C-alpha cells in the first residue's frame, strides 16, 4: 500500500509539472498533499506495528494535528490573496468612463463619504465585470486596490478549487470569514468566476454543486452584515452567458468592458509606450489608432512590444554606424556623412544604442500580431449586454 501511494504521488507530481492548466495544477497539488499525508500515516502505522506498540491514540493525535494544519493552511492561503496597494490608478485605464464611475460610486465614495450612503441610498455590493480578454477588467480591480484604504482580496478561481472533497467549500467559507474579520470594508475580487459558476446541468458533479451552493450562501450572508464590517464582491468573466442564472441575479450591476474605441486606443498607446522610445507625430498616432480597430489592450501591448524589437534586429544586421552626440553608436545608412563601417560586435557593448521605434515598425508588427477577439464573440457580448448588462464606456 505504501509503495502504491508513493508511485501515485510521483505520477501526480509528474503530470502537474507538464499540465499548462493552472486550475488542474492546483487540484493536482492538493491531491499530492493528500497522498503525502496518507503516506505519513501509513508509515507511522507500519513502524508502530513493527514495534508492537498500541497505535490508536497516536493515530488520533496525528489526525487532529493534520486538521489543525489544514485550518492553518487555508488561513494562510487566503492571506496570500490580499493585495497591497499598487501603482495602477484609474488614470492608467483608458476609456471606460461609465465603468469607472460605477465602481467609484460602489466602493470608493462610500469609504470616503459614508454619511452620504444611508437610509435607502445604499451602494452596490456585488458587481460583475465582463468582456473580451485583455480589455482591462483586472486592471480596474488593481486600480481600486490603489485607491482605497481597505483590505483587498484578489482571488483567481484556481485559488478556490481543490481536489479534496469539501476543501473548496471550506476555502470559500474561510475567504468570507477572513474578509468579515477585517476592520472596515473588505473588497473581494474573484477573476474567472465562470470556472466555478457555470450553468448547472444534469451531468454536473456533486462536489461542483456544493461549491456553487457554498458561494451563494456566503454571498447572501454578506448581505446581512451591517455596520462597519461590510463586504463588497466584484467578479470578472470572459464568458458571462455561461454563468449560472442564480449567480447572475445576485449581481446588482453587470458591466460590459468592451474593446477600446479610437480615443481609448490613443490613450492606451501612450500608456503602453511610455517606457519605450517611440516617436510618432499626431497624424501618425491617429493613423495607427485607426489601423488597430478591434484590438484589445493586451493586443496593443503585444504589438508595441513586438515593434520595440525591430530596432534591435536592425542593430544585428547593420553594416554602418554613426556616432551620436552622447558618444553612443547607432545604425545608419552607408551613405550618411561620417558613417563608420562595422558590425554590432565591433563596438563596446555599452556603447551601442538602437534607433527609436517608428510607425513602419508598428505597421510591420501588425502582420505578426493580429487581433485576438473575433466578430462572432463580440456579437455574443453585445447580445448579452442588451438583455442583462450595462455598457461600461
The string of DSSP letters for 205-247 reads -HHHHHHHHHHHHHHHHHHT--TT--EEEEEEES-GGGB-HHH
The cell for 238 is: 470572459
What is the chain's Cα-based Rg?
27
Burial class (CB in 10 A: 0-12, 13-18, 19+), 131: buried
Nearest to 362 by CA among 283, 298, 309: 309
Predicted local distance difference test score (pLDDT) of residue 60: 54
Q: Which of 251, 256, 194 is nearest to 223 (CA)?
A: 251
The full set of domain ranges for the chain reads: 2-53, 82-259+382-391, 262-372
Do 189 and 155 touch, CB atoms closer than 8 A? yes
**Residue ranges of the chain whose pLDDT lies below 50:** 59
User: What gap in Å lies between CA 393 and CA 390, rounded to an integer?
Assistant: 9
Q: Coil, strand or helix: which one is 127?
A: strand
Residue identified by cell 444534469 is 202
Which position has the grid cell 467549500? 169
CA distances from 22 to 26, 42, 142, 229, 332 (A): 6, 30, 21, 33, 47
- Let me know how many helices (H) and strands (E) the chain has, helices first: 15, 10
Q: Report, at the CATH architecture level, how domain 262-372 is classified.
A: Orthogonal Bundle (1.10)
Q: Write out pLDDT tens, residues 45-68.
A: 677 666 665 555 554 555 555 555
Give the single-character DSSP code of 352. B
Strand order in the sheet with 329-331: 329-331, 320-323, 340-341
What spatial distance separates the first Cα and last Cα of the chain, rounded to whole Å? 60
CATH of 82-259+382-391, one of 3.40.50.300, 3.40.50.740, 3.40.50.150, 3.40.50.12780: 3.40.50.300
Contact 196, 215 (CB under 8 A): yes
How many residues are there in the chain? 393
Which residue reads 455596520 in cell numbers? Answer: 227
CB 256 within 8 A of CB 149: no
Question: Distance (Å, rounded) from C-alpha 391 to C-alpha 104?
Answer: 16
How far is residue 358's CA from residue 366's CA, in Å, rounded to a whole number?
Answer: 13
Task: Give the integer Cα–Cα distance in Å for 382 and 93.
Answer: 21
Amino acid at each position: 500500500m505504501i509503495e502504491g501511494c508513493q508511485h501515485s504521488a510521483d505520477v501526480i507530481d509528474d503530470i502537474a509539472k507538464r499540465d499548462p492548466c493552472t486550475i488542474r495544477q492546483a487540484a493536482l497539488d492538493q491531491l499530492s498533499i493528500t497522498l503525502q499525508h496518507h503516506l505519513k500515516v501509513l508509515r507511522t502505522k507500519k513502524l508502530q506495528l513493527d514495534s508492537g506498540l498500541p497505535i490508536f491514540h497516536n493515530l488520533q493525535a496525528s489526525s487532529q494535528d493534520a486538521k489543525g494544519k489544514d485550518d492553518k493552511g487555508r488561513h494562510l492561503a487566503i492571506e496570500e490573496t490580499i493585495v497591497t496597494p499598487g501603482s495602477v490608478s484609474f488614470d492608467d485605464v483608458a476609456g471606460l468612463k461609465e465603468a469607472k464611475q460605477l465602481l467609484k460610486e460602489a466602493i470608493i465614495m462610500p469609504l470616503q463619504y459614508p454619511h452620504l450612503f444611508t437610509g435607502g441610498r445604499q451602494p452596490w455590493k456585488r458587481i460583475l465585470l465582463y468582456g473580451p480578454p485583455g480589455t482591462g477588467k483586472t486592471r480596474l480591480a488593481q486600480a481600486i486596490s490603489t485607491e482605497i484604504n481597505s483590505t483587498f482580496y484578489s482571488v483567481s478561481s484556481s485559488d478556490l478549487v481543490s481536489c479534496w472533497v469539501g476543501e473548496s467549500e471550506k476555502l470559500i467559507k474561510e475567504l468570507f470569514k477572513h474578509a468579515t474579520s477585517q476592520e472596515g470594508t473588505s473588497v473581494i475580487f474573484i477573476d474567472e468566476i465562470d470556472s466555478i459558476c457555470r450553468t448547472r446541468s444534469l451531468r454536473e458533479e456533486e462536489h461542483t454543486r456544493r461549491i456553487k451552493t457554498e458561494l451563494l450562501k456566503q454571498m447572501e450572508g454578506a448581505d446581512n452584515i451591517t455596520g462597519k464590517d461590510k463586504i463588497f464582491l466584484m467578479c470578472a468573466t470572459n464568458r458571462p452567458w455561461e454563468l449560472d442564472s442564480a449567480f447572475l441575479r445576485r449581481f446588482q450591476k453587470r458591466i460590459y468592458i468592451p474593446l477600446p474605441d479610437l480615443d481609448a486606443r490613443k490613450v492606451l498607446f501612450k500608456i503602453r509606450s511610455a517606457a519605450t522610445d517611440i516617436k510618432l507625430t499626431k497624424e501618425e498616432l491617429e493613423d495607427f489608432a485607426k489601423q488597430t480597430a478591434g484590438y484589445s489592450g493586451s493586443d496593443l501591448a503585444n504589438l508595441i512590444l513586438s515593434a520595440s524589437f525591430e530596432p534591435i534586429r536592425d542593430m544585428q544586421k547593420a553594416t554602418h554606424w554613426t556616432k551620436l552626440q552622447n558618444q553612443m553608436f547607432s545604425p545608419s545608412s552607408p551613405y550618411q556623412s561620417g558613417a563608420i563601417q562595422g558590425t554590432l560586435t565591433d563596438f563596446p557593448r555599452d556603447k551601442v544604442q538602437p534607433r527609436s521605434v517608428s510607425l513602419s515598425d508598428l505597421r510591420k508588427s501588425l502582420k505578426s500580431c493580429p487581433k485576438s477577439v473575433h466578430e462572432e464573440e463580440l456579437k455574443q457580448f453585445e447580445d448579452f449586454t442588451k438583455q442583462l448588462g450595462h455598457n461600461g464606456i
